[in-house]
Amino acid sequence: MNVILLKHFDFDDPAVFTGWAEEEGHRLAILNPTRETPDPALLDDADLLIVGGSPASAYQDDEYPWLGPEKVFVRAAIDRGIKVFGICFGAQMLAELLGGRAYGHSLKEIGWHDIRRTDAFHPALVDLPDDFRSFQWHGDTFDLPPGAVRLASSAYCANQAYAWGDRVLAVQFHLETSPPCIETMLDVWEQDLRRDDPTVQSAEEILSEQARASESFALLRGILNNFAASEGARSELTALNLRFEPFGNTHGSSGFLRGET
C-alpha cells in the first residue's frame, strides 16, 4: 500500500506511522504542506492519505496561505476515491470539505480523556474497546458533514470520530502522539495549560499517564490495518516512483514527496 502523511509541524513525531508502514510493508511518504504545496499528481498511485494535526485551525484560510492549496489536495484525494484518515485538525478539515463546519469550541480538551464508541459499526474500529482513554490537545470542534456517521464521543466533545462513506475516516483524539512529542508540546504550548477548565490537565497529570502511549500506538495500528483492509481497497497496487528530500525536523525523520521525472 502507498501511503501519504501530511505533517504540519516539526516536532509532530511520525514514529508510529513509520513503524507501522515498515512492519506492514507499506510505502510511506511524508509531506509538510506548510512548506511546499502538494501536487495533486502525487495522488496518482496513493492508496491512503493521512491528514495529521496542526496548531492552525481548519477555518483559518486567511491567516495561513498554505491551507487553501492543502484543501484542494485533500479534496482531490476524496474525489479520486482514495481512502483518507483525518486526525484532529485533519478531522476538522474533512468535516468542512464534506459540507460540515469547523469552529472554535467553548473549551479545550488537553491531556488524557475518556472516549466512548457509539453503537454505529465501522470495520476500522472493530478492535477498538467500547471505552478507552486517549491523549487530546484541541480547542476546535466541528459539526458532522451531511451523510457522516458518528463513531465516538467524549463527555465534553460530542464528535470524537466519524465516517463518511467507506473511504473517509476521522478522529478528534491523538492515538499517535509519542512521549517526546508530548513533552515538547508541554514546553512550546505551555500557555494552553493556564486554564481552570476541568478538561485541561496539568503538565504533571499529563506526564503521569504518558505510559499509555504504547497502548495508544497499538490501537492506532489496529485502526490503520483494518481501514486499509476494509472493503473498497484497491485490488492492484503499483509502486510509487519517488525520492525523499529531507527537511529539518525534531523527533523523527520525514521528507517531501516528489514525483520522479
pLDDT in tens, 190-214: 999 987 788 999 999 999 999 999 9
Beta-strand pair 27-31/168-171? unpaired
Q: What is the mean pLDDT of residues 176-182?
A: 97
In sequence order, the 6+-apart residues with CB closer than 8 A to the CB of 254 are 5, 7, 14, 30, 32, 246, 247
- Catalytic annotation on 88? yes
Residue among 88, 109, 157, 181 flagged as catalytic: 88
Say if residues 79 and 39 touch (Cβ distance below 8 Å): no
Say if residues 86 and 170 touch (Cβ distance below 8 Å): yes
pLDDT in tens, 101-159: 999 998 999 999 999 999 999 999 999 999 999 999 999 999 999 999 999 999 999 99
- Catalytic annotation on 157? no
Beta-strand pair 101-117/131-143? antiparallel
Residue among 70, 96, 174, 181 flagged as catalytic: 174
CATH, domain 2-250, list 3.40.630.10, 3.40.50.880, 1.20.140.10, 1.10.510.10: 3.40.50.880
